[in-house]
Structure 1
Amino acid sequence: YTRLFENINQSENIDYSSLNTQTFALLLAKYKALLLRSDENEAPFTVNDFGNFISNLGLEKYPYVGGAAPRRIIPVDAGDDLIYTANEAPPDQLIPFHHELAQVKNPPVYLFFYCDQPSETGGETALLDSTVVYRYVNDTFPEFMEKLKTYGARYIRTIPAEDDKESPIGRSFYNTYQVKTKDELEEKLNATEKLEYEWLDDGSLKVISEPIPAIKFIGQQEDHAIYQWTFHNSVIAAFVGWEDCRNDRKKSIRFGNNELMDESILESIANFMDKNKVSYKWQKGDFFALNNRLVMHSRNSFTGVRRIYAAMFGDVDKKKMAVQPNLAAPGVSDLSALSVPNPLTFGMWRVDDSEEAAYNAIKSGYRRIDSACDYGNEEGTGRGIRRAIKEGIVKREDLYITTKLWNTYHAPEHVPLAMDRSLKDLGLDYVDEYLIHFPISMQFVPFEKKYPPEWTNLEGNMVIVNNDINQTWKAMESLVDTGRTHHIGISNFNCQHIRQVLSVARIRPTSLQIECHPHLSQEKLIRFAREAGMRVTVFSPLGGTSYISLNMATQGDLLFHNPLLRQLTAKYGKTTAQIMLRWAVQRNTLPISKTSSEKRMEENQALFDFYLHKEDVEAINDLNLNRRYNDPGVFCEGGMGTFCPIYE
């Protein structure tokens, strides 16, 4: 289980003027935690510096809400309600690991700490990667994890009527729930379905929470690919730290179905968390920025005086976020509108039993299916999709189905005919996305004479014809207008092809599909497409594997033998395929994988319990050889006698 924060004391200079909303969000998505400190030749940051910094970041203001720990507001020049004391539990007590306000419906996204006075001894803030904890629990106690996912957790706590400063969870119920009267409190409690409460004889309040999700999947955060499972709950914090004169920590939690949790398992998880934490000793003026969705924090016990202040914020405030010029054009103005719950796509190219493959892929967790007229299996693909829907595995709206316009149907009058044929074969009323398969226009082949037409006409010749691709695009736009497809896009286009489409697009392409793998990283093309407001879906993410049988790759091309990738499989405890797919995901691309094996389908889904470190992503980037396998400039001449380069 790799640790993220080993290099926490290695510094990197950041130009303050360049740290705007976008760069800050990108840094937190990439590193999860940042330590900010003034230059060694300058005075430490003041609390007003801290207040000005966080108020200028352009984040959504997160309202001050209740919690278990007592706090005090710290007024600063930037505002009277931005900053407050961190948990002021007694110094001899450990504050256990937790995500801040994990039990509320919408926890804060960003969490900040500022050191006004470091303690004499101890008092370190410890950090822990929540995904590492998830993976440990999932690998070691799979039945326990399945119950957490299925039922969630319920929390039991007795809350005093007045703040108890001797307790780490001693905040009064008035302050916890931000109310002034018991009647107001009861009204708030009664509004929460399945929450139970009881007034005790001493005036305190016993609360049994409603079932709360214990495991969270963090997908796309603004324009940043996260895609990680997290142990985003207070189960261990409650088990370890919810102890005072009113509460017994061992009785503080249970599964959402009211089943008791195994104490030995909870102890093992707590020990793992303690073993894998990275503690940081504060210096005056330091402040931390944490991605609260991904990082747990805790506080060690201490001696002396310790003053740490905190602030919480929601996500990036879109009203304050600058829009890149390429995104300001009609069609797409906000990349978050293109967010994808699960980035993995199942590909139907060269799949033998397309019905079983599509059905099993959906059953194993895939929600994106990539098909095409040219694959010759849309009927079977459609049967598999409809079978999964009929059995209640998914609803149609849960799926994202892509198919493609073949090269022989680029003439505007043929585009709707090709779309209708794909819909008929798939047995669907619409597809989610329709792509131009290649920027190659070929001689029309009548549907009734040969379908799919492949690369040659009825005489067996590949005939390229003159065609205005802009007119093809306008015909694609009409498919959106008529509801046949929700989105339109392009495949195998280079930057100049994309510029040509963008120059006339009334509806901009939402997606670019290209070949991409560690031997063909396509960094500039991916960047160009992203800045133009497109998702990037990548086929052949494992390299040349699928091309050996076509004599388009050799055994020497296989990435599975690469020494670096094999080292990373040992480091992360993952397969080489999982390493390459995770690399694709962390580059903010959507990898298309295919297999007939249900076991491999499930393995391909196991990408979200680990995260490649920055240096490992960069090392994989360096494997690039610009080695392309699916190149019409090569295979068309060899197979059809027609020289057809499109990438040069």
Structure 2
Amino acid sequence: MQKSIDSRYSELYTDPDCEAWKRLKQLVTERSRTPSKKSVSGPPPLVMTTVKFNNGCECPIIGLGTYRTQDEDGYRAVKHAIDAGYRHIDTALYYQNEKEIGRAVSEKIADGIVQREDVFLTSKLWNTFHRPDLVEPALKVTLADLRTDYLDLYLMHWPTAFQDGWNLSPKDQNGKMQFSNVDYVDTWKAMECLVDKGLVRSIGLSNFNECQIDRILSSARICPVNNQIEVHPYLNQKTLVDFCISKNITVTAYRPLGGPPTEPSSPIHDPSIAALAEKHGKTPGQIMIRFLIERGIIAIPKSSNPERIKSNLNVFDFKLDENDMKILWSLDKGAKGRSIPYDVAIDHKDYPFHTNV
């Protein structure tokens, strides 16, 4: 994956009040407010459960994950997803696919399939923009690429600050990641200002542990509405999920299927899950997504395959009974079930996955 931002943004980074940004801001506003060519004319929207945030906003319980879905694959995946009934798209500056996602969503708006307010857009602040004065410029690049003037949800991608700049993976000559000492609490305060300005409707966290969440809450003026973490049957995260719920923070599960199906260690190949799939006439993936829904967790399965995109949404016509849930709970492997260990930041003072935090 490319790890640097297009040089066309360099002026925005060095001077967020520059003339280039003013032109870009005007373009974003024009794009986001351009009326549809016709009234919404797509198929009736899928009746989907939503999760209510602590600020009253609601988020569809299933969204399209887009990590490592780039270029035309990302563009087509989002269009397929909207056609299938998805109204929640998850992305991040780090994924470097926001332009494609913005193009796909704006075309569906222009075609009259959806309106902007129908689509819940989530993105994330990358580690190299934790310095408070960089938070808003980073968001504005995301808004420009997504062709919108606001986000529904903006998350701090990780608690670990990296060396400032547009190099998203700043490493020294020995290949070691270069860190910054910016406190994520200060970053959070800058994110609160984005809500004040109407640039984002809700703010939240991603990959934060209990201690880190408590630090945020101890000084937060605006409480996080969501913590996005890896959750699936091999890493059920019961303790962290229960903690978030106790603090009135919702949870989103990334990698809800436990990683790519090409990996033999993926829970999608687990015999117990296969047996439940046969029992309910569903796929293993649908069983795992339903496991999250039963727990009130938002799921963002990633796919660029049109049939799998549809399949991942076909989970509202059945329920898992108590015994089914017991079987799925029993598959937990704890930290060994984590598919994204984030080793690149293991030496960072704010690394979230140490067992003693």
Q: Give the TM-score range, shorter chain.
A: 0.7 to 0.9
Q: Which amino acid aligns with 2:49?
A: G
| Aligned match for 2:49, one of 210, 219, 233 | 219
Once residues 520 and 435 of structure 1 are traced to their aligned partners in structure 2, the CA distance between those partners, rounded to angstroms, is: 21
Q: Does residue 416 of structure 1 match 2:124?
A: no
Deviation of 1:454 (Å): 2.7
Cα pair 2:255 2:302 within 8 Å, conserved: no
Using the TM superposition, give the Cα deviation of residue 544 of structure 1 relative to its aligned residue in structure 2, in angstroms. 2.7
* Cα distance in 1, alignment partners of residues 127 and 344 from structure 2: 15
Change (3 A) 1:643 1:469: closer
Amino acid at match of 1:630: I
Whole-angstrom distance in 1 between the partners of 2:206 and 2:90? 12
1: CA distance, partners of 2:251 / 2:349: 27
Matches of 2:84 and 2:205, distance apart in 1 = 28
Gaps of 5+ in 2: 1-42
Residues 410-462 of structure 1: CA deviation (Å, up to 9, x unaligned): 011010111111111111111111100000011101x4xxxxx3322586641
For residues 208 and 340 of structure 2, what CA distance do their matches in structure 1 show?
A: 13
Q: How many residues align?
A: 307
For 1:381 and 1:356, how far apart are their aligned partners in 2?
9
1:636 to 1:332, Cα distance in 2 relative to 1, 3 A: closer
One of 323, 329, 332 as aligned partner of 2:54: 332
The alpha-carbon deviation at position 560 of structure 1 amounts to 2.3
Aligned to 1:455: 169
1:559 — aligned with what? 267
C-alpha distance in 1 between matches for 2:326 and 2:275: 14
In the TM superposition, what are the counterparts of 1:256-275 in structure 2 within 5 Å? none
The equivalent position to 2:68 in structure 1, one of 350, 357, 367, is 350
Please give the alpha-carbon distance, in whole angstroms, between the structure 2 residues aligned to 1:417 and 1:458.
Answer: 25
Superposed displacement of residue 561, structure 1: 2.1
Q: Give the one of 362, 369, 375 matched to 2:95.
A: 375
Matched, 1:395 2:115: yes
The CA deviation at 1:613 is 0.6
Conservation of the 8 A alpha-carbon contact between 1:408 and 1:441: yes
Residue pair 2:48, 2:61 contacting (<8 A) in 1 also: no
The 2-side partners of 1:455 and 1:531 are apart by: 35
Give the 5 Å matches for 1:54-73. none
- Aligned 8 A contact 2:154 2:200 in 1: yes
Q: Distance in 2 between matches of 1:418 and 1:401?
A: 16
Provide, for residues 282-314 of structure 1, a one-character-per-residue CA deviation record: whole Å limited to 9, x for no partner: xxxxxxxxxxxxxxxxxxxxxxxxxxxxxxxxx
Secondary structure at the residue paired with 1:456? coil
Q: Say if 2:74 and 2:304, in contact at 8 Å, map to a contact too.
A: no
Equivalent in the alignment of 1:646: 352
What is the rounded CA distance, in whole Å, between the counterparts of 2:158 and 2:196 in structure 1? 23
Amino acid of the structure 1 residue aligned with 2:254: F
Q: Distance in 1 between matches of 2:307 and 2:124?
A: 28
Secondary structure, in 3 states, of the residue corresponding to 2:152?
strand
Residue pair 2:230, 2:253 contacting (<8 A) in 1 also: yes
* 1:571–1:589 Cα change, 3 Å: same
CA drift of 1:645 comes to 3.7
Asked if structure 2 preserves the Cα contact closer than 8 Å seen for 1:462 and 1:642, the reply is: no
8 Å contact 1:344–1:592 — kept in the other structure?
Answer: yes
State the one-letter code of the partner of 2:118: D
Tell me how far apart the structure 2 counterparts of residues 487 and 218 of structure 1 sit (CA, whole Å).
20
Partner of 2:153: 433
Cα RMSD for the two superposed structures: 2.4
CA positional deviation for 1:217: 4.5
CA distance in 2, matches of 1:644, 1:471: 14
Q: Within 1, Cα distance between the matches of 2:316 and 2:126? A: 34
Determine helix, strand or coil for the equivalent of 1:545: coil
Task: State the SS of the aligned residue for 1:513.
Answer: strand
Q: Does 1:629 align with 2:339?
A: yes
Residue 621 of structure 1 deviates from its aligned partner by: 0.8
Superposed CA deviations along residues 590-622 of structure 1, whole A, max 9, x for unmatched, are: 111111111111111110110111110121011
TM-superposition CA deviations, 1:356-393 (whole Å, max 9, x none): 11111111111110010000111111101111111111
Q: Deviations over 1:149-179 (max 9, x none)?
A: 97xxxxxxxxxxxxxxxxxxxxxxxxxxxxx
The 1:582–1:376 alpha-carbon spacing in structure 2 relative to 1, beyond 3 Å, is same
Instruction: Identify if the C-alpha distance between structure 1 residues 530 and 610 changes in structure 2 by more than 3 Å, giving closer, same or farther.
Output: same
Cα shift at 1:467: 1.5
Equivalent of 1:599, from 278, 302, 307? 307
Q: Quote the Cα distance in structure 1 between the aligned partners of 2:162 and 2:131.
A: 9
Which digits, 9 at most, give the CA deviation of each residue in 1:311-352, with x for residues without a partner?
xxxxxxxxxxxxxxxxxxxx937xxx3544x31110110113
Instruction: State yes or no: 1:502 paired with 2:217.
Output: yes
Inter-partner Cα distance in structure 1 for 2:271 and 2:97 = 37
Could you tell me how far apart the structure 1 residues matched to 2:211 and 2:277 are? Answer: 38
Partner AA of 1:544 in structure 2: G
Which structure 2 residues correspond to residues 10-21 of structure 1 after superposition, within 5 A? none
For 1:131-170, list aligned pairs within 5 A: none
Counterpart pick for 2:253 among 538, 543, 549: 538
CA distance in 2, matches of 1:643, 1:544: 27
Write out the 4+ residue segments of structure 1 that deviate beyond 6 Å after TM superposition. 641-644
Cα separation, partners in 2 of 1:218 and 1:408, compared to 1, 3 Å: closer
Q: Which amino acid aligns with 1:616?
A: D
Distance 1:372 1:526 in 2: 22
Note closer, same or farther for the CA distance 1:593–1:506 as it changes in structure 2 (3 Å cut).
same
For 1:487, the equivalent position in structure 2 comes to 202
Tell me which of 328, 344, 364 is aligned to 2:84.
Answer: 364
CA shift in 2, pair 1:536/1:338, >3 Å: farther
Q: Per chain length, whose mean CA-contact separation is higher, i.e. which structure has more relative contact order (CA < 8 Å, sep 6+)?
A: 2
**C-alpha displacement at 1:636, in angstroms?**
4.5
Is 1:467 matched with 2:185? no
Q: Report what 2:279 is aligned to.
A: 571
> Percent same amino acid at aligned positions?
36
Deviations 1:174-218 (A, max 9, x none): xxxxxxxxxxxxxxxxxxxxxxxxxxxxxxxxxxxxxxxxxx957
TM-score, structure 1 as length reference: 0.45
For 1:413, what is the secondary structure of its paired residue? helix
Bigger CA radius of gyration: 1
Alignment of 1:10-89 (within 5 A): none
